[in-house]
Chain A
Amino acid sequence: MTITQGTFSYLPDLTDEEIALQLGYALGNGWAVSVEFTDDPRPRNNYWDMWGLPMFGLRDPAGALHEVNECRKAYPDRYIKVSAYDSRHGRQTTALSFLVNRPQ
């Protein structure tokens, strides 16, 4: 069964170019992007493992995409998601989150 979680999860898997465009949109809004992975994608499981720290100060999606691919290389059999955190006062929450890897 396909796990549907986060944005775009009813769509076919995003390609790298599409992921880069979404990351570019997040960075354009000033959101900090981070990569997380888990082997337990239940909706109630909020505690995904972090792949490195959130990437503050990034300007270009290439850096974030690089981390996504590194994470895929290390954990091809896990669920991997990208979340974009909006740190602005008054929001301070995850603004966008989508799966970038499903186990084959």
Chain B
Amino acid sequence: MNGTRPGFALPRTGSAAPGQVPGEDPGAVEAALELLPEDASVDLAAEREAAGVDAVLAALEGELVGLDPVKTRIREIAALLLVDRLRARFGLSAEPPNLHMCFTGNPGTGKTTVALRMAELLHRLGYLRRGHVVSVTRDDLVGQYVGHTAPKTKEVLKRAMGGVLFIDEAYYLYRAENERDYGGESIEILLQYMENHRDDLVVILAGYADRMEAFFTSNPGMSSRIAHHLEFPDYTLDELAAIGSLMLQRQRYRLSAAAEQTFRQYLARRITQPRFANARSVRNALERARLRHANRLAAGTGLLCKDDLVRLEPADFLASRVFSEGR
């Protein structure tokens, strides 16, 4: 609170606005609502700058490799919200856009990361008031006995208001094989809130493509209430290598020239093997390489320089199961 504390006094009817929060200038609210005249023009660049959109988009570009269709859609959404803000300045109000989304893609394609970025972006553009992400799975939404589900789901929805509700593996909400399952009740409440609290809350469903498809087939109402269906494509070999080097950079490691070749060979083999989880597999591979690297250093004797502690060698990857099985 700023300023001096106002003294107690009986309010005179018709004078100062009742219930006004101390320290908050009522004029500020009115000034923001003042409309621009018909012939005025607005500066798009200044508005972008003010919203800080570019910083988020740049972070998205820098941190996430590939995912072009997803990035394109995010840029489109950002543009739409930006233009909506400008339109509002002229009093051209439109319905707030429906921004509920569905992310489908194989494991490790960056769905959760994008959801976090999306929340930040929507917050900066003024669509969300807080921009926090509440990440939940079936357990958090569906109750265990009759009458348990509704309060549970509502509580989660209330916590997510002002931000993003991220439902991971959303297809588990609905279990077709068990008709006494409480998941359906949860979905019904979810739909109701998605419709009635559109400006308070953005719901993002995430899951694997084929199972989400089945989920939407059995819940057509859900599919039609979600405007944006984003597909996360699998990464190519080059993208995986780029992801790997980004991860290493962040952990202050680097690959020797020979190891870079080996790492690519490793990825090429790993892609064809079962249970490949894109970026997550890359991270696991690097974790194991670090392990072998540390082991190699610990086994040796003599002096180590800084470069030894940073550099990963082909041997750190060649010991992997991926190479031995392929032969």
CB-based contact B19/A60 at 8 Å:
no
- Are the C-beta atoms of B163 and A11 separated by less than 8 Å? no
| Neighbour of B162 across the interface among A12, A18, A52, A60, CB < 8 A | A60
Question: Is B129 an interface residue when CB atoms closer than 8 A count as contact?
Answer: yes
A59-B132, A66-B197 as given contacts; A11 in contact with B162, CB under 8 Å: no
**Contacts of A58 on B, CB cut-off 8 Å?**
158-159, 161
From A17, which residue of chain B is reached at the shortest CB distance?
A: B19
List residues 14-42 of chain A with CB under 8 A from any CB of chain B. 14-15, 18, 21-22, 25
Interface residues on A, range: 20 to 34
By the criterion CB–CB under 8 Å, are B10 and A66 in contact? no
Q: Identify whether the interface residues of A are mostly helix, strand, loop, or mixed.
A: mixed
A residues less than 8 Å from B130 (CB atoms): 59-60
| Secondary structure class of chain B's binding surface, majority of residues | loop
Chain A window 53-66, contacts with chain B (Cβ cutoff 8 Å), 1 for yes, 0 for no: 10101111011101
B302 within 8 A of A: no
A63 touches B19 (CB 8 A): no
Q: Out of A12, A21, A22, A55, which one reaches B158, CB within 8 Å?
A: A55
* Residue contact A21 to B157, C-beta cutoff 8 Å: no
Contacts of B132 in A (CB 8 A): 59
B231 within 8 A of A: no
Q: Check if B200 is an interface residue, CB within 8 A of chain A.
A: yes
Tell whether B18 is near chain A: CB-to-CB under 8 Å: yes
- Could you tell me the distance between the alpha carbons of A22 and B20 in the complex, rounded to whole angstroms? 9
Decide: B21 and A67 in contact? CB cutoff 8 A: no
- Assess whether B11 is in contact with A63, with CB atoms less than 8 Å apart: no
Given contacts A15-B19, A22-B21, contact A62 B197 (CB under 8 A): yes
Set of chain A residues within 8 Å of B11, measured between Cβ atoms: 10-12
In the bound assembly, the distance between CA atoms of A57 and B21 in angstroms comes to 23
Of all chain B residues, the one with the shortest Cβ separation from A55 is B158
Residue of B nearest to A21 (CB): B21
In Å, the complex CA distance between A14 and B13 comes to: 14
What are 8 pairs between A and B in contact, CB < 8 Å? A11-B18, A21-B19, A22-B21, A52-B151, A58-B159, A59-B159, A60-B161, A60-B162
